[in-house]
Amino acid sequence: MNVIIRRTLILAGMTGFVLGTFSLGLYIAKELLKDFFGFRWEIAMAIGIFLTLAGYEPIWELLISTTNKYFIPKKYNYQKFLKEASRGLTQIESLHHLLGLVSHFITMRMRLKNAQS
């Protein structure tokens, strides 16, 4: 529970700072387009909205990966994980279903990007 609160606070702070800085830069760019280059405010606003939408997803992915890499320690209790997984897996009779569940457990609980069955 402590890790969840810590991660939430770190991610909220980083998100507020980075997206606030990004938004401020876009606002200044919009004002420059409008005032110094003679763009109408509607076109300057449309360009600002487009740049915001284009930059949001890469910034969000960068924040998530940075938070996971530097601020959240990766402490896995493999014995606990294997005990939990094996308890449920012993009741499954289909080998294909069992293999899919093992792959799912590994990718979700250990935060691996890919596991093939």
pLDDT over threshold 60, residue 117: no
Mean pLDDT computed over 71-79: 67
Distance CA(88)–CA(68), nearest Å, equals 28
Cβ(44)–Cβ(30) below 8 Å: yes
Distance CA(25)–CA(107), nearest Å, equals 38
Structure confidence at residue 13 as a pLDDT band (50, 70, 90)? confident
Give the residue among 8, 48, 54, 11 at the shortest CA–CA distance from 32: 48
> Mind listing the pLDDT tens digit for each residue in 27-67?
888 888 888 888 887 887 788 788 878 888 888 888 878 87
pLDDT over threshold 80, residue 106: no
Distance CA(60)–CA(2), nearest Å, equals 23
| pTM of the entire predicted model | 0.44
Sequence ranges of the domains in the chain: 2-71, 78-109
